[in-house]
Homo-oligomer: A and B are copies of this chain.
């Protein structure tokens, strides 16, 4: 009985056994012009030996990896994991692999991850949001590869961007609630400064409340990002304590909206009869919940897909010696009126 080979086979082993040169093996692997007979012969040996080419050697030699660096604030938020799916859909047909990183909503963590990912010479980078440390920006600029910022429209993009204005989207929701007749509208947000998109929504709310002359903003800030379902209950409790006559509440996310609605049920408040509640994101819970939740729909998957396409276009342009023209892709959002408001 032979023991497992301590050393995996190399391309030279395959070449030798197939009676060809390394180059021929390399060509077979990369699907380039090789005679049918040789190709089959080599492929047979590859299969027999279970040969797996070393990507590090290939990357070093060719000067290009097959990696795309992707950074999201949280892998467990369904909107970001949808974005990741979109990126995967864009890149995997091109044989590019995602190098995924979870920044936990922290810019320093993002910087750390960018630094560590850049070591692998990714072909391009997708990151979330428009705020980054100065070091991150410098690192990315020096890397000289295409970069896309997702989920926002930065005033000063590093390279390109695919997103929408979170403030504008929030204003649209406030207007919707206003049109529905609500006048004493509150807002539930996270307490941390880390989630800029959440803060932008809050700013949009405040701006629109003022624009509509609806009095002082009623904002409750509570809890860390990512905002989850358990955020909603204490938040609406605090809101109703501070402003008992509130007739509608807008939440920074469908997650908190759901938590708030469940808390209302517990208190015997009927939604929307006693109080209207709206969310943001069009998460699955928003249309599965009873009552269904009025929300702002954003195509998270589409953001990833478009971001991927933008990067691929930049890569292709670069290959052709041109400069890509796309600088920003604006993603649509839509207020979806449902039962809860």
* Interface positions of A (Cβ within 8 A of B): 4-6, 8, 50, 52-60, 65, 75-76, 78, 81-82, 84-85, 88, 97-100, 102, 115-121, 138-139, 141-144, 228-230, 232-233, 258-259, 262-263, 265-266, 284-285, 287-290
Contacts and interface: CB of A to CB of B under 8 A. Distances in A.
- Copies of chain A in the complex: 2
A121 B10 CA distance: 13
Contacts of A56: 55-57, 59-60, 65, 120-121
B290 A54 contact: no
A102 B86 CA distance: 12
Nearest to A232: B288
Contact of A229 (B60, B76, B259, B288): B288
Determine the main DSSP class of A at the interface with B: helix
A105 to B, nearest CB: 14
A5 B98 CA distance: 26
A304 to B, nearest CB: 12
A143 B8 contact: yes
A185 B337 CA distance: 37
Contacts of A119: 52-55, 58
Given A52-B119, A56-B121, 7 more contacts: A4-B144, A8-B142, A8-B144, A54-B60, A56-B56, A57-B60, A76-B81
A269 to B, nearest CB: 11
A55 B120 contact: yes
The 4 closest A-B CB pairs, nearest first, are: A76-B81, A56-B59, A55-B119, A229-B288
A339 to B, nearest CB: 10
Contacts of A258: 285, 288
A118 B56 CA distance: 11
Contacts of A8: 142-144
Nearest to A262: B290
A284 B228 contact: yes
Contacts of A55: 56, 119-121
26 contacts: A4-B144, A8-B142, A8-B143, A8-B144, A52-B119, A54-B121, A55-B120, A55-B121, A56-B57, A56-B60, A56-B121, A60-B60, A75-B84, A76-B81, A76-B82, A85-B102, A97-B117, A98-B100, A100-B100, A229-B285, A229-B288, A230-B288, A258-B285, A262-B289, A265-B290, A266-B290
Contacts of A121: 54-56
Contact of A99 (B99, B228, B287, B288): B99
A88 B85 CA distance: 20
